[in-house]
A and B are shown apart, each in its own frame.
Chain A
Amino acid sequence: MKYTAIIARFVVLVCLQVLVFNRFLFQGYFNPYVYILFIIYLPATVPRWGTLLWAFGLGLAVDIFENSAGLHAAASVFLAYLRPVFFGYLTRGTEQDRSAISFRKIAPFALGVYALSCIFMHHLLLFSLESFHLSEWKSIIKRTFFSTLFTFVFVLLFQLWNFRRNRTIP
């Protein structure tokens, strides 16, 4: 993927998050954080240090709009560092090379498990840092769980759309 495509994705996802998804509320409490799609589906060919820097910039961009300096940056960098660990789900049982994974050639189920793990780890660190008090662990777990489900629904919708798009354009 060329850099222009990556930058376009970056801008679109930050705008969507700030203008649309930050206004989505479930029970007035749970918020989807769909912008991390950028990190989850960043091509595996981007070097690891590049992934970390992209994630930091992405988190910072969201932070500026949310008035939460550093919060999303910390969670995003954490996810970017952890991402290669979850690549294991994608390459299991196939001959694919880990450094050249193509997300379009992966079975939907494996892709779902991979995305869910990524979302959960990101949200867990995000809500822990946001509350900053481990004594509120019940609320942290609750918010992580429901927000993960909420974000995952949107990620599935995106996958479905992406899948159909690939079929119509062979």
Chain B
Amino acid sequence: MRYLLFLLRRSRIFFLFLLLEGLALAMIISQRSYQRAVFMNSTQRSMGELLEATDQLTRYLHLREENEVLARQNARLQSLLERAQYFRVARGDTTVDSTHQQRFVSIPARVINSSYSKRNNFLTLDQGSQAGIKKGMGVTGPRGVVGVINRVSPHFASAIPIINPNLNLTGKIANTQYFGVLEWVPKLGHRQLHLADIPRYAQVDSGDVVITDSRSLIFPEGVPVGTVIGKTLQSDQNFLRLTLQMSTDFARLEHVFVIQDKLSGELDTLQP
């Protein structure tokens, strides 16, 4: 017993080292698992406020360009409004219009912190559960798809972008029905993406546009993902792996929309 105490005293530095490393490793592992660490959640709000303050300084640099993109998007959306359209059917007595029902709702948010040069990239948004954001909702930007919400606090939310190896969405080639898995690996950099598992016989050329697929149940169909710039045969010889130039530039992402699917509850009852 005395010898044990002596041993403990003599190598107490080593035991302290082991203890601290153990704590750090426990945090890393718990953050990797689905259930995130409590430690990050409790601090996230104050950190978010600080990051927001510093972000206000830098966001003016990109103001002009962002305005231009938003204006273009506004113009496109205005053209979709009911009042911008011409009705060929004469309006008679029955004027109850029930052909359309709102399914997807966009919640605007701003990116206040992000990384795009690491292996496990992430985004922090300045809106949270008070704005109606929930875990699992999709995130799009003015140029195209961005990622999926993974953690929500009352005022902030964090999202996993598609430039993270842990997120796999479905994408399809516009104008055809071929769909595959969107994959990202760090060596691609923040401007490129893979679309894997496209059948070998599919007619694909560089310049073809890849969009989101309604199979993912997160995004509406047709959100731009990128354009094809190359293709290689996968090692199984039966499928193609396409390389895409992403439409979203994660290095200057600022305004995003969180997509709420009003019918997701109904869908979940059919597809367990």
Contact = CB atoms under 8 A, between A and B. Distances in A.
Given A19-B54, A49-B12, A130-B120, A56 B158 contact: no
Interface in B183-206: 186-187, 189-190
Nearest to A81: B17
A28 B190 contact: yes
Contacts of B51: 65
A158 interface: no
A22 B118 CA distance: 11
Contacts of A74: 21, 24-25, 28
A67 B28 contact: no
B23 A70 contact: yes
B117 interface: yes
Contacts of A67: 40, 113, 115, 122, 124, 158
A77 B20 contact: yes
B17 to A, nearest CB: 5
A91 interface: no
Nearest to A56: B20
A130 B31 CA distance: 12
A52 B54 contact: no
Interface size bracket, B side: 35 or more
B37 interface: yes
A129 interface: yes
Interface in B73-120: 113, 115-120
Nearest to A51: B13
Interface in A13-72: 19, 22, 25, 28-31, 48-49, 52-53, 55-56, 59, 63-71
A42 to B, nearest CB: 15
Interface in A73-94: 73-74, 77-78, 81
A162 interface: no
Interface string B1-34: 0000000000011001100110111111011100
A137 interface: no
B24 A28 contact: no
B26 A70 contact: yes
A49 to B, nearest CB: 5
A130 B43 contact: no
A131 B16 CA distance: 26
Nearest to A138: B187
Interface string B110-138: 00010111111010100000000000000
Contacts of B190: 28
B117 A70 contact: no
14 contacts: A28-B117, A28-B251, A30-B117, A49-B12, A49-B13, A59-B24, A64-B40, A65-B113, A70-B28, A71-B28, A73-B23, A73-B24, A77-B24, A129-B28
Q: Across chains A and B, which 10 residue pairs bring their CB atoms closest together, nearest first? A: A70-B27, A74-B24, A70-B24, A73-B24, A70-B28, A69-B27, A69-B31, A77-B20, A81-B17, A56-B20
Given A19-B54, A29-B117, A52-B16, 8 more contacts: A30-B117, A56-B24, A70-B31, A71-B24, A77-B24, A81-B13, A130-B118, A131-B186
